[in-house]
Amino acid sequence: MDEYFLSVIMISFMFSLIYILTKWILTKPNCSKRKLLQPPSPPKLPILGNLHQLRPLTHRSFESLGRKYGPVMLLHFGSRPVIVIQSADVAKEDIFAGGTDTASATLAWAMTELLRHPIVMNKLQKEIREILRDKHDVTDNDLEKMHYLKAVVKETLRFHPPIPFLAREAREDVKVMGYEVAGGTMILTNSWAIGRDPASWDEPEKFKPERFLINSSIDFMGLDFELLPFGAGRRRCPGIAFSMANVELVLANLLQKFEWGLPQGIKPEDLDTTENPGGIIHRKNPLFAVATHCYF
């Protein structure tokens, strides 16, 4: 009887082994299949992929890796392949954005940069007050005349895009800048890095709203791939116009009705600009400023 059960066990084991080997052979990648020309990729670790190379401020990690591996690179989040795009030229080929809470982040960064650049703030206040004069309510017609205000908002979005990554998934095999991307691959466009790309911007690390007066045709509505704070194409953020109109309206009111400065002992160049990690990039620490009411 013992020999009978031993035989049954051995036969079951052999059948199981045959099944496993057959399945492995049938599902083994076809070695004769042409190897895809994939983008450059940093060395990866088992299980982790490239996750160990990313810091909490992921957009900065991508930009740093991109300096070595190029504007199109392949990363692995665990076993998931992810294409990262950090060039305006490449961004024209896949784009999607979404998110909330962008207006408040943009307002905080705009006030931060205005406090860091008093000359820019004074120039903007002069424009706003000359257009409004003794009016207390800002209208849409007033905002349309405030060209420097629009330039300040654009420069804020270039320097501090509220949504640093624009994500979409390739539905089928596609080519991006000559590289072959397999269907199902996630593609991340780093709008933060594109906004600071010397190939697209003169002195990209300087806050200069005047650049948008010289070339006022560049906009954030998704047609200019140098400036992609809200994505592009049919899937760009649908609330762009409403959100940015609110930003312009609030800034115009704040700068018309108040004089702004920093707390005693803080110099403009020392103002903290640390970012808080997240899907939307806010200031890490609250912005403290001194407001003095203006009477007209």
Note the pLDDT tens digit of each residue in 145-156.
999 999 999 899
When comparing pLDDT for 142 and 227, which is higher? 142
Summary mean pLDDT of the chain: 79
Average pLDDT, stretch 89-114?
A: 72
Please tell me the predicted confidence (pLDDT) of residue 28. Answer: 47
Has residue 187 got a pLDDT over 50? yes
pLDDT of the residue at 94: 74
Q: What is the pLDDT of residue 231?
A: 58
Strongest mean pLDDT among 62-66, 128-132, 190-194: 128-132
- pLDDT in the model for residue 192: 85
Q: With a cut of 70, say whether residue 23 has pLDDT above it.
A: no
The topology under which CATH files domain 39-293 is: Cytochrome p450 (1.10.630)
Q: Is the pLDDT of residue 235 over 70?
A: no
Up-side HSE of residue 150: CA atoms within 13 Å toward CB?
18
pLDDT for 99: 36
- Altogether, the residues listed in the chain come to a count of 296
Give the model's pLDDT for residue 240.
61
5: Cα within 13 Å, side-chain hemisphere = 2
pTM, two decimals, is 0.67
Residue 13 has what pLDDT?
47
Three-state helix/strand/coil letters over the chain: CHHHHHHHHHHHHHHHHHHHHHHHHHHCCCCCCCCCCCCCCCCCECCCECHHHCCCCHHHHHHHHHHHHCCEEEEEECCEEEEEECCHHHHCCCCCCCCCCHHHHHHHHHHHHHHHCHHHHHHHHHHHHHHHCCCCCCCHHHHHHCHHHHHHHHHHHHHCCCCCEEEEECCCCEEECCEEECCCCEEEEEHHHHCCCCCCCCCCCCCCCCHHHHCCCCCCCCCCCCCCCCCCHHHCCCCHHHHHHHHHHHHHHHHHHEEEECCCCCCHHHCCCCEECCCCCEECCCCCCEEEECCC
- CA 275-277-282 angle, 5° bins: 50
CA 124/CA 174 separation, integer angstroms = 45
Of 278, 114, 250, 107, the residue nearest 192 (C-alpha): 278
- The pLDDT assigned to 134 comes to 83
As a whole number, mean pLDDT of residues 107-136 equals 94
Q: Grade residue 216 by pLDDT with cuts at 50, 70 and 90.
A: low
CB count in 10 Å sphere of residue 101: 14
- pLDDT surpassing 50 at residue 17: no
What CA–CA distance (Å, rounded) separates 208 from 117? 10
The more confidently predicted of residues 208 and 66 is 208
Q: Which residue has the higher pLDDT, 15 or 281?
A: 281
Q: Which carries the bigger pLDDT value, residue 214 or residue 234?
A: 214
